[in-house]
Structure 1
Amino acid sequence: MNQPPKILITGAGGFTGRHACRHFSQAGFDVTAIARTNTPDSQVKVEYCNLTDQDAVASLVKKTKPKYLLHLAGQNHVGQSWLDPVSSLENNLLSTLYVIEALRHEHPECKICVAGSVLQFDLNDLSALPHPYSLSKTLQVLIAQAWEILYNMQIIIAKPSNLIGPGFSKGVCSIFAQKIADMEASKADQVLEIDNLNVQRDFLDVRDVVRAYEILLTKGESGEVYEVASGRSYSLNEVVSNYRKLTAIDFEIKSRVNEKINTKLDLNPAKMMSLGWKPVIPLESSLADILNFYRCK
């Protein structure tokens, strides 16, 4: 009888990590969830590890010897990166280096998917560097790509767009939903404050993204970068309009800026779709699920 393939999922206690653990467990993988403190929701094996501790990472990899690694761990908040840039670099860059290097020594045949970011910048134009978070994610991906070339490792880069969906998240759709749920419970003023309603973003449900990660690990080509996105931008005004349809609260909107912004779609999911993936959860369903999540909290 064939044993289910082993997969390590780092950052398993985070927003995407919790969904990933649930998805891969239901898909028949032998999941080991790696977390620092938060415990994943799913009934999977959990290993607690500080990924910035090289010796601890080496011991973990030696113990588990996974067939696949989905590397989601890191510091993913732009504001926090301004306050503590060193910690952001440690958590995004060193953790990636330590886990990949441990796999190189202990289990080099492991196939790895590293989650990059839409906020990476072009290394050929340092003047375009917007914040320390962007620097940390750009260098993280550079390290992963370098180890794929230098040591012939099986490493794929996923570049996801703005992830949304049920669960605790610091994303704008979750912030709106939590405020509306508080309004419904008479815990907040019926005012939604937004910087600019005309800002546009490519939103993608996290449950579609974890499906994409499975496809990348099983079908993706080593050394490639796959952009995981819906391929369509929505303004925050459209997001708010959808939330209005989901609540009886007639909330007021206060927008600090109302300039029209022309937003270019930076992500092209064509390569990802060539592997047989496509997003299936519409924005309206994602927003409804997010709002219902916060209503129950």
Structure 2
Amino acid sequence: MNQQGKLIITGASGFTGQHACAHFLKSGYDITAVSRKRMNIEGRIHAECCDLINGNDVYNLIKRTKPKYLLHLAGQSHVGESWSEPVSTLEANTMSTAYLIDAIRKESPDCKIVIVGSALQIDPSSISSIPHPYSLSKTLQVLIAQSWAFLYNMNIIIAKPSNLIGPGVSNGVCSIFAKKIAEMEKKGMEKVLEVENLEVQRDFLDVRDAVRAYDLLLTRGQPRETYDVASGNNHSLGEIIEGFRSVTTEDIKVNSQQNEKIENKVAIDPIKLMNLGWKPSIPLKSSLMDILTFHRELKEKC
């Protein structure tokens, strides 16, 4: 019996979405998993196929389900693709958000909403610092959500995650490294990783810890607040490669261009989230081991 109430998870077939479905099912939610493509989902999860940039489809989805909670994960998350397809990136990340929260305003106004933004969003007052169309799309997404929260007194929370890592299909750098290492192990290919700059630093957080944070925000997060979802620690790509070296027997060499290009870093601090009782629980090395294990198993199936 579901105790927590109806929860819609958008982007349910994606990297974070699959972990979210597994977590919230165990937590006792009545889950509607929404994706643009059909999903084969086992267990007590209702799957819905919906194009979130179709306003009528979104409205009908909300009208049918009347959710108590919404976790909005869907969108276009690839920076490279945003350069080649900026308009479709804007549609996927902004209009889907607008359609969802406006449908909830009309049909399920007491719904508690967590919109998952990005560490790459920026302060819109410094427009010249936008690094790519993806950042623009996530910045506008958050502005839309915050505006609806204030204009219509809606229960909307913004989660701003750092670089999420963990087992599963992902475009993240840790998954890219792990996939190459798994290929090295299986095929005996040249054991060289190409890295632009080993000194680049990122805050890496296991996706399973992030999903726990989203759960906490749905139950205890304050409306109209923004919460950084991060480990609070930065690691260089060199450290990440050393972490992978510690969990493989392959003699991995690195070819680095040592590009010294200056990066605009966005400050991200999880203290507000920690004050609600959350803290990361999965060590970086465990995450890297799980990622590599996932890609090893994929290679075995090929």
- For the residues of structure 2 that align with 1:257 and 1:61, how far apart are their CA atoms? 49
The verdict on how the C-alpha distance between 1:40 and 1:196 changes in structure 2, with shifts beyond 3 A counting, is farther
- For the residues of structure 1 that align with 2:141 and 2:135, how far apart are their CA atoms? 10
**Residue of structure 2 equivalent to 1:252:** 253
**Residue of structure 2 equivalent to 1:51:** 52
Q: What displacement does 1:261 show?
A: 7.3
**Cα RMSD for the two superposed structures:** 1.7
- For the residues of structure 1 that align with 2:130 and 2:158, how far apart are their CA atoms? 20
**Residue of structure 2 equivalent to 1:32:** 32
Q: What displacement does 1:61 show?
A: 0.3
**Residue of structure 1 equivalent to 2:296:** 295
1:228–1:269 CA contact under 8 A, matched in 2: yes
Task: Report whether the alignment pairs 1:71 with 2:69.
Answer: no
| Structure 1: gaps of 5 or more residues | none
Partner secondary structure for residue 290 of structure 2: helix
**Residue of structure 2 equivalent to 1:132:** 133
- For the residues of structure 1 that align with 2:110 and 2:266, how far apart are their CA atoms? 35
Mean CA deviation greater in 181-190 or 32-41: 32-41
Task: Report whether the alignment pairs 1:174 with 2:175.
Answer: yes
Partner amino acid, structure 1, of 2:215: E
Partner amino acid, structure 1, of 2:205: L
- For the residues of structure 2 that align with 1:296 and 1:129, how far apart are their CA atoms? 38
**Residue of structure 2 equivalent to 1:13:** 13
**Residue of structure 2 equivalent to 1:121:** 122
TM-score by length of 1: 0.96
- For the residues of structure 2 that align with 1:84 and 1:187, how far apart are their CA atoms? 37
| Structure 2: gaps of 5 or more residues | none
Mean CA deviation greater in 229-238 or 179-188: 179-188
Partner secondary structure for residue 196 of structure 2: strand
**Residue of structure 1 equivalent to 2:202:** 201
Partner secondary structure for residue 37 of structure 1: coil
Matches within 5 A, 1:183-198: 183-186=184-187, 188-198=189-199
Q: What displacement does 1:189 show?
A: 2.4
**Residue of structure 2 equivalent to 1:277:** 278
**Residue of structure 1 equivalent to 2:102:** 101
2:193–2:252 CA contact under 8 A, matched in 1: yes
**Residue of structure 2 equivalent to 1:218:** 219
Partner amino acid, structure 1, of 2:280: P
Runs ≥4 residues deviating over 4 A: 258-265
TM-score by length of 2: 0.95
- For the residues of structure 2 that align with 1:264 and 1:123, how far apart are their CA atoms? 15
- For the residues of structure 1 that align with 2:264 and 2:85, how far apart are their CA atoms? 29
- For the residues of structure 2 that align with 1:16 and 1:130, how far apart are their CA atoms? 24
Partner secondary structure for residue 246 of structure 1: coil
Partner amino acid, structure 1, of 2:118: S
- For the residues of structure 2 that align with 1:259 and 1:90, how far apart are their CA atoms? 34
Identity, % of aligned positions: 59
2:2–2:30 CA contact under 8 A, matched in 1: no
Partner secondary structure for residue 7 of structure 2: strand
- For the residues of structure 1 that align with 2:21 and 2:3, how far apart are their CA atoms? 18
- For the residues of structure 2 that align with 1:183 and 1:10, how far apart are their CA atoms? 35
**Residue of structure 1 equivalent to 2:22:** 22
- For the residues of structure 2 that align with 1:20 and 1:40, how far apart are their CA atoms? 15
Q: What displacement does 1:121 show?
A: 1.3
The verdict on how the C-alpha distance between 1:3 and 1:241 changes in structure 2, with shifts beyond 3 A counting, is closer
